[in-house]
Amino acid sequence: MIVIPAIDIMDGRCVRLLRGDFGQRKSYGATPLAQAKAIEEAGITHLHLVDLDGAKQGTPKNLHVLEQIAGNTSLVIDFGGGIRNIDDAAAALNAGASRVNIGTFLFSGADVPARCTEHFGRDKLIAAIDINNGKVAVHGWQTQTNVTAHEAISSLFLVGWDLISVTDISRDGTMQGPDPGFYTPLVEAFPEVRFIGGGGVATVSHLLQLKECGLYAAITGKAIFEGTITLENINKISHK
């Protein structure tokens, strides 16, 4: 399992939200670039970069930060937040992202998932499925749909998506630990999908629980800033 540190950006700062609530955010002192450099210096190869301003406003707002990190590190960056059309995804890739996380846009039309894979190829894409109370949430987690995780994953896999990030919003930012029962049924139901998990990770044991679920990768953000998981811990657990 690859362990991917996360940097969430809002107003140019590294922040973390509680359960996706923009009104409950905590800012941290390191700049996004400084944090990214620290991640690289620890021997870690991947970064999950989230544009929270973009997620809230519906269009990427921090591509300049992506460019800065991509231009000053060799990290494999997956970028998300506010990508609501093909042009937004292309702009993120051109700014230095190795892959783009697409969430809300995927649920904007029945033909969108296939259009994305046809345009970019599946290796450049991560489907970002955010789950709240068993259903997909969109628009920066602010809007609930009636689509279940299984329904979303099934339809995406049929048109070529095999790298899928599933976030348990109820756990995100809480540091109370992940729910293995949330991920195990998905991994068992879709053995050919590479799942990325996260939400609530606070300790090394939480990461090991996710590894036991059979995930391809796990994301952790707040625990790093709070110091309960070190970058050295991540480097030891993660395979390259």
Q: Is there a contact between 191 and 223 (Cβ–Cβ < 8 Å)?
A: no
- Active site residues per annotation: 8, 130
Q: Tell me, what amino acid is at 29?
A: G
Q: Please, is 137 exposed, middle or buried when counting C-beta atoms within 10 Å of its C-beta (0-12, 13-18, 19+)?
A: buried
Tell me what the pLDDT averaged over the chain comes to.
Answer: 91
Question: Residues 26-61: pLDDT tens digits?
Answer: 778 789 999 999 999 999 999 999 999 998 899 999
Domains of the chain: which residue ranges? 2-237
* 2-237 belongs to CATH 3.90.1170.50: no
Query: What share of the chain has pLDDT > 90, as a percent?
Result: 72
pLDDT band at 23 (very low <50, low <70, confident <90, very high): low
| Rounded distance between C-alpha atoms, residue 60 and residue 102, angstroms | 12
Nearby residues of 237 by Cβ (< 8 Å), 6 or more positions away: 1, 3, 204, 207, 208, 211
Nearby residues of 62 by Cβ (< 8 Å), 6 or more positions away: 9, 12, 51, 53, 54, 81
pLDDT of residue 94: 98
Nearby residues of 226 by Cβ (< 8 Å), 6 or more positions away: 175, 202
Q: What 8-state DSSP symbol labels residue 140? A: T
pLDDT of residue 177: 84
| Rounded distance between C-alpha atoms, residue 52 and residue 10, angstroms | 5
pLDDT band at 93 (very low <50, low <70, confident <90, very high): very high
Sign of the C-alpha dihedral, residues 71, 165, 16, 173? negative
Whose CA is closest to 199, among 50, 36, 61?
50
For the segment 190-213, the average pLDDT, to the nearest whole number, is: 93
Whose CA is closest to 16, among 3, 38, 35?
35
Q: Which residue has the tokens 């309960």?
A: 228
